[in-house]
Amino acid sequence: MDLKAQAAAAALEYVQSGMMIGLGTGSTTSYFVDLLGEKLKQGELKDIHGVPTSEKTASRARALKIPLISLDEVSELDLVVDGADEVDPQLNLIKGLGRALLREKIVESHTSHFIVVVDDSKLVPKLGTKGPLPVEIVPYAAKAHIRWLNSLGCKAELWLETDGTPVTTDNGNYLAKCWFENGIPDAYALAEKLAWRAGIVEHGLFLGMASLVIVASPNGIRKLEAKR
């Protein structure tokens, strides 16, 4: 079984009938959604309702006949399962390369049980060492936002489709990619700067949010619990 599928299968062990579950976005989470749909089809789980973090996930869940609800209908989710682009030793995350970071962060803020599923290639000593930090920005004055992001010690660029047009999120916003040569020196300080800047809608730093990270490797499954 693919490592991502193994991590997803391990997360499914935490799902019980009657739960309201946040459904993440990305390649690893798609395995989880598929497995959840199969469990419902077989009758092994019942009365499950999902809150999708993207239109892509919503479409996949509907095809599998997973009942969906909105966050407007529920105050707290029993658990959320999602992937990550990077995971540091404190279980802080970079997320958003699946283009859904804003909705993911909103959904994942509505649970005390956020389960992250990854393969071991996503583990890093410091965030920003392997890939870019995605940042969602408003289309208005996009070049100005990119220019400001470049003042933060990174190489920022507008994320473009293969045809040269800006990548657009489900929310109608653009995305920037911010590359840090030696990783992000202080993720919490950077998150605070980004949060206060007008025109920056949201960022891919998910700090202190994960309660459990399930890591699949050729040597098996490891479960890393947050020390909070």
d(CA 86, CA 80): 18
Q: What is the pLDDT of residues 117-129, one digit of tens each?
A: 999 999 999 999 9
As annotated, the residues of the chain forming the CATH 3.40.50.1360 domain(s) are: 3-120+207-218
Question: Other CB atoms closer than 10 Å to residue 151's CB: what's the count?
Answer: 9
CATH number corresponding to 133-201: 3.30.70.260
Q: What is the pLDDT of residues 127-167, one digit of tens each?
A: 999 999 999 999 999 999 999 999 999 999 999 999 999 99
Phi, psi of 16 (to 5 degrees): -125, 155
8 A C-beta contact, residue 20 and residue 51: yes
- Mean pLDDT (the chain) is 97
Whole-model pTM: value is: 0.96
Q: Which of 86, 104, 136, 202 is catalytic?
A: 104
In the residue annotation, 104 being an active-site residue is answered as yes
Architecture label for domain 3-120+207-218: 3-Layer(aba) Sandwich (3.40)
